[in-house]
Structure 1
Amino acid sequence: MYLADEAWPDLESYLDAESVALVPLGSTEQHGPHLPEGTDHLIAEGLARAAADRGGYLCTPTVNIGVSPHHKQFPGTMWVGAPEFRDYVESFTRNLTYHGLDRVVYVNAHGGNIEHLQEVGRRLYDDETAFAVEWMWDESIPELVDELFAENGPHGGPKETAMIQHLRPELVHGDRLESARDGGVLMSELEEAEPDGRRRGMVNGARVFYDAADNTDNGVLGDQTDASAAKGEQLFEAACEQLVELCDWLSARETEELRPKPRR
């Protein structure tokens, strides 16, 4: 069930019996010359809505803009500050608990959101308001990702390319996949040592870069030519299955199991 499509009398009867909500979150940021800026939130929304339909859960509207200042040099990237993002997510999650939804899955598709969603979950857990967890789609199926792609990449690489080829093929610039690869960076190249023995972007154990533009001229990593809609469908179906199982697990827990244990 998609919350924004429903009238309140229908939601009232639904909320009387259910306690789990899926909240899709992503970003609006560069994903290289071949993918749309909405890549992350398109993936998050696709997975959240499919899992909600298949598992009988509630899906909220999507949070389309996340913590993305590290992509700011590329035209069109939008972002919010980390404190504002955390406060916003915490606020609307508390709103969900007002309606009886005290088990929340943040269906996330943007790496820059991870630590902030986990922090919000911690706050809500500590004051016993809700049990909210961050879920990142590719982290639920790491073996499959490794199996499908020889040169994967964390941003704009073949896994995200394949997912958008599956979900929204009309938004993928197929004629730019080779230039995306050639103008970006392969993960194997990132792992190679510099002439002085240091890894790229590292000095004496410290990471000395903040922005994507410091490492990749066109904003992407990995071999995009290794992607296909068929691989995207495999990824989507496997991740969706993992998400439904997570929601089933949450739904089956007694409230006491999702609260902090008392002091010893």
Structure 2
Amino acid sequence: MYLADEAWPDLEAYFESESLAIVPLGSTEQHGPHLPLATDHAIAEAFATEVSERTGYLRTPTVTVGVSPHHRQFPGTAWVDADVFRDYVESYVRNLTYHGIDRVVFVNAHGGNVQHLREVGRRLRDDDVAYAIEWMWDESIPNLVDEAFEHNGPHAGPKETALIQHLHPDLVHDDRLAEARDGGAPDPEASIRTQNGAATFYDTVENSANGSFGDPTDATAERGAELFDAASEQLEALCEWLAARDWAELRAPERVSRE
């Protein structure tokens, strides 16, 4: 069920019987010369839509701009400051709690959002208003992702390329896959700038000239479909697990006492 497509009487019935919402979030940022800026939020929305349709749980509109200042050197990248993002998402969830939602799954596809969504989740639980947890598709199936590609990458690499080839093939510049590999960081571990155990970079362009990491020429739509189905199963199971929890299980633990 997609919130924005429904009339309010039908949503009223949902809120009377259910208390979980799926909130997709991503970014609008460069993903190498071969993928669209929409990559992250398109992936998040696809997973949220698929699992909402499988389970009947409510899906909200997608948060399409995230915390992406580290990609700012690439034309078109959009971002908001971290504190603005946190406050916006927290307010968004508090709005949902007004209607009866008390548990949320953040379907997130952008690494730059992770720590901020965790902070929002802590704030909401500490105030005893909602239990919100962050989920990323590739972290739900790490072994499958690792085995799928010889030269993976954390950003604009084969795993994201394969998903977009599956979900939105018309948005992939297949003629630029070799360019993405050769002009980027085909060996991500070797390209990340460090010195004596310290990271010596702040922006993506310092580690990859064209914003791509890994070897996207290894990606196929068929592999993307396999990854999408496997991660969707994980998200479905997570939603069912969270919906079945008693609120007492989700609340913050009491302060520890020696007595």
> Which of the five TM-score ranges fits, normalised by the shorter chain?
over 0.9
Partner of 1:248: 240
What is the distance in 1 between the residues matched to 2:193 and 2:171? 32
List gaps (5 residues or longer) in structure 1.
Answer: 193-198
Match of 1:179 in 2: 179
For the pair 1:150 / 2:179, whether they are aligned, the reply is no
Matched, 1:128 2:128: yes
Q: CA deviation at 1:112?
A: 0.3
Cα distance in structure 1, aligned partners of 2:39 and 2:198:
30
Letter in 2 for 1:101: I
How many residues of Structure 1 are paired with residues of Structure 2 in the alignment?
A: 256
Task: Give the superposition deviation at 1:131.
Answer: 0.3
Which blocks of at least 5 consecutive residues in structure 2 are unaligned?
none
2:197 pairs with 1:205: yes
The code of the aligned residue for 2:236 comes to V
2:22 match: secondary structure: strand
CA distance in 1, matches of 2:50, 2:101: 19
Q: CA deviation at 1:119?
A: 0.5
Aligned to 2:207: 215
Confirm whether residue 32 of structure 1 aligns to residue 40 of structure 2.
Answer: no
CA distance in 1, matches of 2:193, 2:214: 17
Aligned residue type for 2:189: E
Supply the distance in 2 between the matched residues of 1:200 and 1:74 (Cα, whole angstroms).
Answer: 18
Instruction: Supply the distance in 2 between the matched residues of 1:77 and 1:139 (Cα, whole angstroms).
Output: 25
Moved over 6 A (4+): none
1:21 partner amino acid = A
1:234 has 2:226 as partner: yes
1:262 pairs with 2:254? yes
Deviation at 1:200, TM superposition (A): 4.5
Structure 2 partner of 1:191: 189
| CA displacement, residues 81-129 of structure 1 (integer Å, 9 cap, x when unaligned) | 0000000000010011111111000000000000000000011111111
Provide the rounded CA distance (Å) in 2 between the counterparts of 1:261 and 1:85.
27
2: distance between equivalents of 1:34 and 1:200? Answer: 21
3-state SS of the aligned residue for 1:86? helix
Distance 2:200 2:254 in 1: 42
SS at match of 1:251: helix
SS at match of 2:146: helix
The 5 A counterparts of 1:13-52 are 13-52=13-52
Deviations 1:53-100 (A, max 9, x none): 101110000000000000000000000000000000000100111111
**3-state secondary structure, aligned to 1:16:** helix
Aligned to 2:109: 109
Residue aligning to 1:196: none
Where 1:132 maps in the other structure, the secondary structure is strand
Distance 1:144 1:95 in 2: 37
**Distance in 2 between residues matched to 1:171 and 1:161, nearest whole Å:** 10
User: Match for residue 8 of structure 1?
Assistant: 8
Q: Does 1:167 align with 2:171?
A: no
Aligned AA (1:120): V
Scaled by the length of structure 1, what TM-score is found? 0.95
For 2:127 and 2:13, the matched residues in 1 are separated by 28
| Separation in 1, partners of 2:153, 2:124 | 33
- Helix, strand or coil at the partner of 1:218: coil
Aligned residue type for 1:215: N
Paired with 2:202 and 2:220, the residues of 1 have a C-alpha distance of 31
1:262 and 1:30 map into 2 onto residues whose CA distance is 44
User: Partner of 2:105: helix, strand, or coil?
Assistant: strand
